[in-house]
């Protein structure tokens, strides 16, 4: 295992000599920031997980199919955060608990359950009622739709997960709508920017702000990692992903209350794109390094093969977990800090602390929003660069590279 | 991990994949390609312009050096020409002087010779005339002296006296 890491290190070292030696300080800083919320998240998610389970336990105790009232304020906050982190079938801006009113708009639900079933999510009444479509009954439980009977019975297993059948859910959920809006926004922004180039060599209006960012992606991300010759082909993907993640991260900071990049499905999809692009653009050298590592004994080659194959999967996995965890952690921390003043006994004392800390973390989160988009794009281009790089071994391993410190 | 797996929604994944794919395709076609092309073209234009300016500057320098060199050459040529001209002039003057001198001397020689011959001729003529005149005078005198006897006798005596004296 040590050997394999050493080999890997060396490989990465050679490939990214340029990136890491010159910008090691920058990267170190970036990594620090990237890791900080990660650490914070470890506890929060556990907490919310606990809360989630507690809540579920309550639900079982009360045998209530309708929205279950958490016992304490703490539980209420945990449930609210948990609810926020999840995708939703309706867009709710805020709710009035006393009157039981929700202000927002419903979204279309599309189910594959013995044929296509399309209906408005208003039928669920925000999870309070059972939706009846063509004689089938559906219940909404923690953002998921389950098939149920007229009474809305849900059976739970020992992990407090419902055992009811889940129909294939292709609903236009809150996250899908957000992504559509962002996609539309990006299309509008960049197409109008592209049009402004027709008038002259310098873009006009908002394009002036976007152009340095595009050049940043090219100069700082694509060219150093993929190389001058081949970067052009991947710029479309890298730019799209960079702006897509960044805008969604920033939208997550707004009070609209969406959490797209902190959703595991979204990050899985993004990472899979990187994975497939990497695999399909890989050259002979890349596959050779995976299946038959050069310059090592045959026994080593055989041992290294499965490790290398696993390595291709761990890279996108790290990518998807990093983005998911950072954004989720940010949301949890900010919402917990805001909720502090509702949980505490002394409002006057809690409010300044809560607002101050929220402000502080929000500023960090704005940085993280950019940083995560940057890191995702940079690592994607790094992986693509590894796959397309032409490399020569043996004579290439000059002693200088061995000594260089690397930070990953 | 259990929570992550449980949270995974295939529907969302499906929509995300479609949205991202469509977005990438659309943006590549309508935005990234023209934008990147314009940026690259502009950068190339700028670098070309800079290179051209640099080349022009170098050419200017070369031109200046050339001009300087040509000027230098011209100056040297002019100096050489002037020097040559001066030499020619001096040579011409010297030549003229020597020729004039020679010619003069020759003329003087000729003149002298002419004068000499003229003088000789004149002298000879003079001599002849003087001798003729002397003869005439002597004849006339003798005629006069010998016209009477007394005179002849006196003369003879006188002549005899002279001879005696001697």
Q: What is the pLDDT of residue B1?
A: 65
Q: Do A237 and A333 fall into the same domain?
A: yes
Q: What is the pLDDT of residue A136?
A: 79
Mean pLDDT, chain A, whole residue set? 77
What order of strands is seen across the sheet that includes strand A131-133? A131-133, A136-141, A144-148
How does pLDDT run across B68-122, given as a tens digit for each residue?
Answer: 999 999 999 999 999 999 999 999 999 999 999 999 999 999 999 999 998 899 8
Residue of chain A whose Cα is closest to the Cα of B39: A201
pLDDT at A37 over 90: no
Span A191-213, average pLDDT: 87
DSSP helix/strand/coil, A133: strand
Span B52-75, average pLDDT: 94
Domain final position from A148, A171, A194: A171
Distance CA A262, CA A181 (A): 17
Nearest of A315, A321, A311, A358 to residue A338 by alpha carbon: A358
List the single range of A53-67, A85-99, A242-256 with lowest mean pLDDT: A53-67
Higher-confidence position of A220 and A30? A220
Determine, yes or no, domain membership for A95: no
Size of interface A-B (CB pairs under 8 A): 123
Q: At B165, is the pLDDT very low, low, confident or very high (cuts 50, 70, 90)?
A: low
Q: Do A112 and A187 fall into the same domain?
A: no
Domain that holds residue A216: 2-45+176-403
Number of neighbours of residue A151 by Cβ within 10 angstroms: 10
- Residue written as token pair 């960012």: A213
Mutation target among B35, B40, B41, B46 for the A interface, most CBs of A within 10 A: B35
Determine, yes or no, domain membership for A165: yes
A268 closest CB neighbour out of B2, B8, B24: B8
Residue of chain A whose Cα is closest to the Cα of B3: A49
Q: What is the pLDDT of residue A26?
A: 53
Give percent of chain A with pLDDT exceeding 70.
78
How does pLDDT run across A51-90, given as a tens digit for each residue?
Answer: 444 444 444 444 333 344 446 778 888 888 888 888 888 8
Higher-confidence position of A33 and A381? A381
Does A46 reach chain B within 8 Å, measured CB to CB? no
Backbone CA torsion sign across A11, A12, A16, A22:
negative
- Chain B residues lying within 8 Å of A244, measured CB to CB: 20, 23
Distance CA B58, CA B65 (A): 10
pLDDT at A246 over 60: yes
Q: Name the CA dihedral angle for A205, A207, A213, A217, rounded to a multiple of 10 degrees.
A: -170
| Residue A51 in tokens | 């809360």
Q: pTM higher than 0.80 for the full model?
A: no
Q: What is the pLDDT of residue B166?
A: 60
A176 CA to chain B: closest CA distance, Å?
7
Q: Do A351 and A225 fall into the same domain?
A: yes
A28 CA to chain B: closest CA distance, Å?
28
User: Within the 279-298 window of chain A, which residues sit less than 8 Å (CB to CB) from chain B?
Assistant: none
B9 closest CB neighbour out of A87, A180, A183: A87
- Chain A residues lying within 8 Å of B31, measured CB to CB: 187, 190-191, 193-194
Does A242 reach chain B within 8 Å, measured CB to CB? no
Domain final position from A171, A193, A219: A171
- Whether residues A190 and B15 touch (CB distance < 8 A) is answered with no
Rg over CA atoms, chain B: 65
Residue A21, C-beta contacts closer than 8 angstroms, at least 6 positions apart = A404
- Residues B144-163 as b/e (b if ≥16 CB within 10 A, e otherwise) read eeeeeeeeeeeeeeeeeeee
Q: At A343, is the pLDDT very low, low, confident or very high (cuts 50, 70, 90)?
A: confident
| Residue A164 in tokens | 């009811």
Q: Do A160 and A181 fall into the same domain?
A: no
Span A205-217, average pLDDT: 90
Q: Do A298 and A339 fall into the same domain?
A: yes
Q: Do A340 and A208 fall into the same domain?
A: yes
Q: At B26, is the pLDDT very low, low, confident or very high (cuts 50, 70, 90)?
A: very high
Determine, yes or no, domain membership for A283: yes
Q: What is the pLDDT of residue B143?
A: 80
Residue of chain B whose Cα is closest to the Cα of A232: B36
Q: What is the pLDDT of residue A49?
A: 42
Determine, yes or no, domain membership for A204: yes
Backbone angles phi, psi at B124, to 5 degrees: -60, -45
- Chain A residues lying within 8 Å of B24, measured CB to CB: 236-237, 240
A398 CA to chain B: closest CA distance, Å?
34
pLDDT at A359 over 60: yes
Determine, yes or no, domain membership for A186: yes
Q: At A369, is the pLDDT very low, low, confident or very high (cuts 50, 70, 90)?
A: very high
DSSP element (H, E) containing A131 = strand A131-133
- Residue written as token pair 């040529």: B77
One DSSP character per residue, A141-180 reads: ETTEEEEE-TT----B-TTS-B-S---EE----HHHHHHH
- Whether residues A266 and B14 touch (CB distance < 8 A) is answered with no
On whether ipTM exceeds 0.90, the answer is no
pLDDT at A232 over 80: yes
Span A16-24, average pLDDT: 44
Q: Do A166 and A180 fall into the same domain?
A: no
Q: Do A214 and A303 fall into the same domain?
A: yes
Q: Name the CA dihedral angle for B97, B103, B108, B112, rounded to a multiple of 10 degrees.
A: 160
Q: What is the number of domains present in chain A?
A: 2
Q: Do A137 and A16 fall into the same domain?
A: no
- Whether residues A263 and B12 touch (CB distance < 8 A) is answered with yes
B12 closest CB neighbour out of A211, A232, A266: A266
| Residue A34 in tokens | 């990237």
Q: Do A287 and A382 fall into the same domain?
A: yes
- Whether residues B15 and A179 touch (CB distance < 8 A) is answered with yes
List the single range of A55-59, A262-266, B32-36, B106-110 with lowest mean pLDDT: A55-59
Q: Do A345 and A221 fall into the same domain?
A: yes
What DSSP designation does A204 have? -
Determine, yes or no, domain membership for A386: yes
Span A321-337, average pLDDT: 91
Number of neighbours of residue A91 by Cβ within 10 angstroms: 19
A268 closest CB neighbour out of B13, B38, B41: B13
Q: At B9, is the pLDDT very low, low, confident or very high (cuts 50, 70, 90)?
A: confident
User: Within the 83-142 window of chain A, which residues sit less than 8 Å (CB to CB) from chain B?
Assistant: 86-87, 110
Q: Do A149 and A188 fall into the same domain?
A: no
List the single range of A269-273, A326-330, B131-135 with lowest mean pLDDT: B131-135
Q: At A398, is the pLDDT very low, low, confident or very high (cuts 50, 70, 90)?
A: very low
Q: What is the pLDDT of residue A151?
A: 74
B20 CA to chain A: closest CA distance, Å?
8
One DSSP character per residue, A45-105 reads: HHHHHHHHHHHHHHHHHHT--SPPPPSSHHHHHHHHHHHHHS--SEEEEEEETTTTEEEEE
Cα three-residue angle A236-A252-A241, rounded to 5 degrees: 10
A352 CA to chain B: closest CA distance, Å?
34
Choose the most confident range, by mean pLDDT, from A108-112, A367-371, A396-400, B162-166: A367-371
pLDDT at A312 over 60: yes
Q: What is the pLDDT of residue A201?
A: 79
Mean pLDDT, chain B, whole residue set? 88
How does pLDDT run across A115-154, given as a tens digit for each residue?
Answer: 788 888 888 877 777 777 777 788 887 777 888 777 777 7
Does A208 reach chain B within 8 Å, measured CB to CB? no
Does A397 reach chain B within 8 Å, measured CB to CB? no
A257 CA to chain B: closest CA distance, Å?
17
- Whether residues B17 and A268 touch (CB distance < 8 A) is answered with no
Domain final position from A127, A145, A171: A171
- Chain B residues lying within 8 Å of A265, measured CB to CB: 7-10, 12-13, 16
A171 CA to chain B: closest CA distance, Å?
7
Span A315-330, average pLDDT: 91
């Amino acid at each position: 295992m040590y050997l394999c890491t050493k080999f890997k290190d060396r490989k990465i070292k050679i490939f990214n000599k340029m990136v890491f030696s010159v910008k090691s300080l920058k990267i170190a800083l970036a990594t620090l920031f990237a890791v900080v919320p990660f650490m914070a998240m470890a506890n929060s998610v556990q907490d919310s997980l606990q809360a989630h389970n507690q809540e579920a336990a309550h639900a079982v105790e009360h045998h209530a199919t309708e929205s279950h009232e958490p016992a304490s304020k703490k539980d209420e906050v945990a449930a609210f955060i948990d609810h926020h982190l999840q995708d939703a079938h309706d867009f709710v801006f805020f709710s009035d608990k006393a009157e039981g009113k929700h202000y927002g708009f419903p979204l279309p639900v599309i189910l594959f359950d013995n044929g296509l079933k399309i209906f408005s999510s208003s039928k669920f009444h925000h999870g309070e009622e059972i939706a009846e479509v063509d004689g089938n009954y559906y219940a909404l439980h923690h953002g998921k739709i389950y098939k149920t009977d007229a009474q809305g019975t849900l059976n739970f297993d020992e992990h407090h997960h419902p055992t009811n059948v889940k129909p294939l859910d292709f609903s236009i959920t809150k996250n899908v709508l957000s992504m559509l809006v962002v996609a539309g926004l990006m299309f509008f922004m960049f197409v109008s920017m592209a049009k402004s180039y027709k008038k002259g060599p310098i873009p006009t209006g908002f394009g002036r702000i976007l152009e340095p960012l595009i050049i940043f992606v090219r100069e700082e991300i694509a060219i150093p990692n993929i190389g001058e010759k081949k970067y052009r082909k991947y710029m479309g993907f890298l730019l799209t992903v960079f702006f897509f993640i960044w805008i969604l991260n920033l939208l997550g900071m707004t009070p609209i209350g969406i959490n797209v990049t902190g959703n595991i499905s979204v990050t899985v999809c993004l990472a899979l794109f990187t994975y497939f692009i990497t695999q399909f653009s890989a050259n002979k050298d890349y596959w050779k390094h995976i299946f038959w590592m050069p310059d090592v004994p045959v026994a080593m080659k055989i041992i290294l093969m499965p490790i290398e194959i696993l390595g291709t999967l761990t890279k996108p996995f790290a990518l998807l977990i990093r983005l998911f965890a950072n954004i989720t952690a940010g949301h949890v921390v900010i919402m917990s800090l805001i909720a502090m003043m509702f949980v505490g006994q002394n409002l006057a004392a809690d409010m300044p602390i809560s607002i101050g800390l929220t402000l502080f973390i929000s500023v960090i989160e704005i940085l993280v929003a950019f940083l995560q988009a940057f890191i995702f794009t940079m690592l994607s281009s790094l992986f693509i660069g590894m796959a397309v790089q032409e490399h020569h071994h043996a004579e290439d391993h000059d002693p200088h590279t061995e000594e260089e410190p690397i930070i990953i | 991990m259990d929570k992550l797996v449980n949270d995974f929604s295939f529907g969302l994944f499906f929509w995300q994949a479609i949205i991202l794919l469509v977005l990438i395709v659309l943006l590549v076609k309508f935005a990234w390609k023209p934008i990147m092309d314009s940026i690259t073209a502009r950068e190339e234009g700028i670098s070309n312009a800079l290179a051209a300016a640099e080349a022009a500057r170098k050419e200017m320098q070369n031109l200046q050096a050339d001009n300087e060199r040509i000027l230098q050459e011209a100056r040297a040529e002019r100096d050489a020409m002037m020097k040559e001209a001066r030499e020619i002039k001096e040579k011409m003057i010297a030549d003229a002087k020597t020729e004039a001198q020679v010619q003069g001397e020759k003329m003087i020689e000729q003149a002298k010779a002419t004068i000499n011959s003229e003088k000789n001729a004149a002298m000879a003529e003079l001599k002849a005339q003087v001798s003729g005149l002397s003869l005439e005078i002597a004849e006339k005198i003798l005629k006069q002296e010998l016209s009477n006897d007394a005179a002849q006798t006196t003369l003879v005596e006188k002549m005899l006296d002279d001879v005696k004296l001697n």
